[in-house]
Structure 1
Amino acid sequence: MIPTLTSRRLRLRPWTVDDADAAFEIYKHEEVARWLSPAMDAVRDPQEMRLVLQHWVAESHRSVQPTGRWAVELTEENRVLGGMTLLYLPPGGTDLEIGWQLSPEFWGHGYATEAGHALAHWALEYPGIDEVFAVVRPTNARGAATAKRIGMEWVGETDKYYDLQLQVYRVRAADLDQSLADQQYGADQHRPPQ
């Protein structure tokens, strides 16, 4: 079973089938789904979303940590605003990918960065996990910017995943710690002695 993770404003928790209406409000948007294809298209109605969630819940019961799918909710409001994934990339299943999807109404508030940082930090504390990847389509400027804000570095382009030309970003524990320090203190500000 995947754990619940928390950050300053957010809670990342396992999806449930009861989240179908909230999840539909995220995954119905073409602006969200177009970056998920070929893995997933825009969801047409709440019933279809319920079927997707049933699959995700069953998958999470079979998954081996640290992989999983999380609902992202605002802690103070208990309102689902997005989803996060930590799954092995095809075809070889050796590279661990972090992914994020937020409803467009929540874009631009730093939620994807905050949730991504929390999930990447948790994954990199897991034994045997040394790095986490994000793959982004070259035209997805918002996704690339979020990967960088999480603390990921661009490592190149490849067509090895999903038979698509994708930009690859990677984060390691030391990179993530530096990214968090920069967010807390500003890249040019004095940091406390370590």
Structure 2
Amino acid sequence: MGVSKGGRTRREYSAEVPRQPDRLPTARLSLRRPAQADAVAVLGILSDPAVVQHNPSERVTELEDVEVLMRHWLAHWERHGFGNCCVFETPTGRLIGNCGVRWMTMHGDRVLNLMYRFDPSTWGHGYATEAAGALVHWAQDSIPGELVVARIRPTNLASQRVATKIGLRRDPAFDDEGEDGGDWAFTDRS
């Protein structure tokens, strides 16, 4: 164990972490571990320029690229027992986005990076808030003491609203430079 910024005790990457359920239900959604069969639907979302407007380097336009990305997501699940999820509307069963937490290093500290991407047809329905909130709650309960960080572009007001609604606060100490420019950090650090 080590100590992260803010005096929080943290486990090493290789330490045993309780597995995230393969399917995590919320009031209106079902978050589940990705499957390669989800690749076509994920491509439909991540190839939409509106979805990656604030992170254009994350746009994918080829099925092969999504399959590589999903193998990366699944490898994180295999190594750590949690990761990026595909998000489905419960009533329709339609894949509407992806949301998850994954290990990353920021400023020399290991953190749980929270990310979310949703089909524009679902924007404004509170799905990102519902999914991200469920995963932050799972992380805080299952991996206590680990810092959750959402990296958000300063111009991405919608994602900033999601982060604050789920209890994350602006934390300039973890601001970072991303591939597409500066990222503001929103964390669960008190």
Q: Do the structures match in fold with TM over 0.5?
A: yes
Q: Encode CA deviations 1:106-132: one digit per residue, 9 max, x unaligned.
A: 111000000011000000001443441
Tell me, yes or no, if the aligned pair for 2:42 and 2:97 is still in contact at 8 Å: yes
Q: Which of 172, 178, 190 is residue 156 of structure 1 equivalent to?
A: 172
Q: Does 1:102 align with 2:121?
A: no
- Structure 1 residues 158 and 58 mapped into 2: Cα distance closer, same or farther (>3 Å)? closer
Q: Does 1:79 align with 2:94?
A: yes
Q: Encode CA deviations 1:126-154: one digit per residue, 9 max, x unaligned.
A: 14434412111111111111111112111
Structure 1 residue 157: Cα displacement: 6.2
Q: Which amino acid aligns with 2:138?
A: W
Q: Which of 140, 158, 164 is residue 142 of structure 1 equivalent to?
A: 158
Tell me, yes or no, if the aligned pair for 1:131 and 1:170 is still in contact at 8 Å: yes
- Structure 1 residues 165 and 47 mapped into 2: Cα distance closer, same or farther (>3 Å)? closer
Tell me, yes or no, if the aligned pair for 1:152 and 1:169 is still in contact at 8 Å: yes
State the alpha-carbon separation in 2 of the partners of residues 36 and 142 from structure 1. Answer: 14
- Structure 1 residues 133 and 74 mapped into 2: Cα distance closer, same or farther (>3 Å)? same
Structure 1 residue 87: Cα displacement: 1.5
Structure 1 residue 93: Cα displacement: 5.2
Normalised to the residue count of structure 2, the TM-score between the two structures is 0.78
Percent of aligned pairs with the same amino acid? 29
Q: Give the secondary structure class of the aligned counterpart of 2:142.
A: coil
- List aligned pairs for 1:17-96, cutoff 5 A: 17-36=36-55, 38=57, 41-62=58-79, 64-65=80-81, 67-91=82-106, 92=108, 94-96=110-112
Q: Which runs of 5+ in 2 are unaligned?
A: 1-18
Higher RCO (CA-CA < 8 Å; seq separation 6+)? 2
State the alpha-carbon separation in 1 of the partners of residues 62 and 155 from structure 2. Answer: 27
State the alpha-carbon separation in 2 of the partners of residues 151 and 141 from structure 1. Answer: 16
Provide the residue aligned with 1:170 in structure 2.
Answer: 187
Structure 1 residue 2: Cα displacement: 4.2
State the alpha-carbon separation in 1 of the partners of residues 20 and 66 from structure 2. Answer: 20
Structure 1 residue 90: Cα displacement: 3.2
State the alpha-carbon separation in 2 of the partners of residues 87 and 22 from structure 1. Answer: 21
Tell me, yes or no, if the aligned pair for 1:97 and 1:133 is still in contact at 8 Å: yes
Tell me, yes or no, if the aligned pair for 1:90 and 1:161 is still in contact at 8 Å: no
Aligned positions, number = 169
Q: Which runs of 5+ in 1 are unaligned?
A: 176-194
Q: Give the secondary structure class of the aligned counterpart of 1:73.
A: strand
